Structure 1
Amino acid sequence: MRTQWKKIVAIIVLLVVIAGFFIPMPYYITKPGSTEKLEPLVEIEGHKSELKGSLSLVTIAMANANIYTYGLAKLLPYQEIEKESDVRYENESNEEYNVRQMYMMNESKNNAIQVAYKAANQKVTVKYDGIYVLSVLDNVPAAKYLHAGDLITKIDGHAFESSAEFIQYVKSKKVHDVVTIDYVHDKKAETAQIELTTIDKKGTVGIGITLVDDEKVTTDPKIKIDSEQIGGPSAGLMFSLEIYSRFQKDDLTKGYPIAGTGTIDPKGNVGRIGGINQKVVAADKSGAKFFFAPDDKVTDEMKKADPTIKSNYKEAVETAKDIDTDMKIIPVKTFQDAVSYLEKLQPKK
């Protein structure tokens, strides 16, 4: 009888342990990820990489927390626990979150292309391409047709030059008016008749979508960037350096493995990113010798929201010291800061 009870208890304990892996918690666990060399991700017609060193982006690994990973994150260095509400927007689905990450990556690539091509005196043009749908409210007529990731090209036969013009047109309509939306879904052109509705407590008339401008960048020579497995905007700086390097006679890396992070805007300004400490750890493990970190300004407003906040560069330097790495942390405010540093760097012997 005792043996039978022991078996029952053992089975119950085993089921509880297994269940712990599948019971979700409202948290994400982030930790140092990997470095990805950019050379195989970037293809430019007639311009292959001649670098003896390498330029790499750095990733952060992120996963939904369970009771075990949550506990481990409390104990292990450079693992962080993020509230779900700090990672996702309110009511944002998995699909919408992924679409938002992909949009930010595409925007980052477009900015990097513009900056690098202009700096290298190559031809690049930017054209407004339509309205990119980031999310759709659940209980609106548009939800039957539109999805996150769709591209709206026209409304009632009108093509616009910005999302602001699109919004203004919709605002001129009344509740229950029906508009004709031309859009692209899964690379297929579609048309839908969509009834307008109120989208907030103020009675604002709208379609019920979160939208952003979508841009098409055209270059000569042609360029292709393969980044389907990577999301977010933080690789902008490193993409711009990789692209720029293809048009230079001299080896921009001087033979060194170089990593870094930072957003980039069309003017070449480098912006703040999250998880800089984890990226420093990942870059060090990969053997990088130099690491570009955004030298961002911490405003009074940022300090008010978080009194412990530090600039990316300062936190990167502290992390490098903590892990006792020889990797040098380089502060950059602009794309040109990074280029200037590399141009002055002595070649590897």
Structure 2
Amino acid sequence: MSEDHRIARTSHPRKARGIRWFFTIVVILLGISLFVPTNYYVTRPGSAIALGPMIDVEDGKKDETGSFMLTTVRMGEANLGWYVYANISDEADLMQKQLVVSEGENNEDFVKREQAVMDNSQKIAEAVAFRLAGYDVQVENQGVWIMGTIEGFAAKGVLKIGDVITAVDGVRTPQATDLLQQLSGKKAGDQVEITYTRDGQEAKTMLTLKPLPNSQNVGIGVRPDNKQSIVIPKKVTIASQGIGGPSAGLMMALEIYDQLNTDLDLTKGYKIAGTGTIALDGAVGKIGGISHKIMAADKAGAEFFFAPEDEADPNSNYKEAVQTAERIGTSMQVVPVKNIDDALAFLQDQKQKPKQS
């Protein structure tokens, strides 16, 4: 055997060992990146989930030929690996942590808040759907629902997510605006008596006011919402499967309304996805992460997508949704909605989808 062949044969193992070491180092670095935190959350496309199996209306019908689908966004704290991925991928975005969770709020608090908001959204969706179907719905404002507390303020460590403030200095506060009204005109250092309920039990506490960030007003440091008692004439069960946030309001209202109308199939055989908060008057509100929801709906085969529209907003959900739909080349039609009536009018204009043979 020639010397050249001996050299060639002995050099291959060295080269192989070098390649193995290279990939070993890469794997180690990737592993380390999983434990390096950042000050960001990463968002990605979630799922488009049919609401029919999730929602049951007493004496309602479930014979629709198509489906209404809520859409979700996958969100989590971004480690270094996800940070790098989000900067090179069109399917992931970064959000600064302080835009997702309040200072001093942990991930558990965030999950509780999102679930509480989802519960409230469900109740409002039920009220809207039953009213549209001609039923009497009773709505009573019960107080100011605590969705979170701010670090460094008196409410932190005293009030919890889910508590309901019912009075300030003995004056009832049925809505969040009433809380603001009772605190207006007061100054930093003043103390107020807060009456609140927790797990059905009433309690009182004295809290000292501080200047609110980026505001000329003082406050106790809470993220408020309206807690309402909504009484509907039939039982509705919603298995939300741990999904949080208010953005499924519109689609839940449509599904409930469809089940209440036993002689009508709103879907007409189509897969209909969408997003948007819902108010008691049926108004549809803006949400976050709509680009990811468009991608999720497209992947699930949706044919229509309802997107909140605000013509005065240059960055409205609808405009962003259309841009994303064009970018990914979907055949799904994006439909602008300002009110649930817009969605219903669009559906009524559609012809029944031919059955596939």
Question: Which range, TM-score by smaller chain?
Answer: 0.7 to 0.9
Q: 1:156 to 1:312 in 2, by over 3 A?
A: closer
Counterparts of 2:167 and 2:64 in 1: how far apart (Å)? 44
Cα pair 1:123 1:221 within 8 Å, conserved: no
Matched residue, 1:342: 347
8 A Cα contact 2:273 2:305, kept in partner: yes
The higher radius of gyration belongs to: 2
Contact in 2 for aligned 1:27/1:81 (Cα 8 Å): yes
In structure 2, do the counterparts of structure 1 residues 140 and 259 end up closer, same or farther at CA, with 3 Å as the change threshold? closer
Superimposed CA distance per residue, residues 158-192 of structure 1 (whole angstroms, 9 cap, x where no aligned partner): 654334444555679996868473421xx352535
Q: Distance in 1 between matches of 2:241 and 2:167?
A: 27
The CA deviation string for residues 283-326 of structure 1, in whole angstroms up to 9 with x for no partner, is 11111122112232244xxx5xxxxx3x3223323322332222
1:282 corresponds to 2:331: no
Query: Which of 210, 215, 219 does residue 199 from structure 1 map onto?
Result: 210
Aligned to 1:230: 243
Paired residue secondary structure (2:38): coil
Q: Give me the whole-angstrom Cα distance separating, in 2, the residues matched to 1:140 and 1:235.
A: 32
Output the CA distance in 2 between the equivalents of 1:269 and 1:64. Answer: 32
| Shift, 1:55, TM fit | 0.4
The CA deviation string for residues 234-291 of structure 1, in whole angstroms up to 9 with x for no partner, is: 2121111101101221211111211111222222222222222221111111111221
Give 1:12 shift: 8.9
Selected match of 1:27 from 28, 36, 40: 40
1:63 equivalent in structure 2:
76
Q: Secondary structure at the match of 2:33?
A: helix
Decide whether the 8 Å contact of 2:154 with 2:209 is kept in 1. no
- RMSD over equivalenced CA pairs, Å: 3.2
In 2, Cα distance between equivalents of 1:256 and 1:10: 48
Alpha-carbon distance change, 222 to 159 in structure 1, aligned in 2, over 3 angstroms = farther
**In 2, Cα distance between equivalents of 1:76 and 1:13:** 20
Overall identity of the aligned pairs, in %: 38
Determine the structure 1 residue equivalent to 2:52: 39
The one-letter code of the counterpart of 1:125 is Q
Cα separation, 2, equivalents of 1:203 and 1:290: 45
Contact 1:154 1:183 in 2 (8 A): no
User: CA 1:71/1:169 → structure 2, altered by over 3 Å: closer, same or farther?
Assistant: closer
Q: Aligned letter for 1:340?
A: A
Which has the higher mean CA deviation after the structures are superposed, 281-290 or 161-170? 161-170
Matches within 5 A, 1:165-204: 165-166=178-179, 168-169=181-182, 179=193, 181-184=195-198, 187=199, 189=201, 191-192=203-204, 194-200=205-211
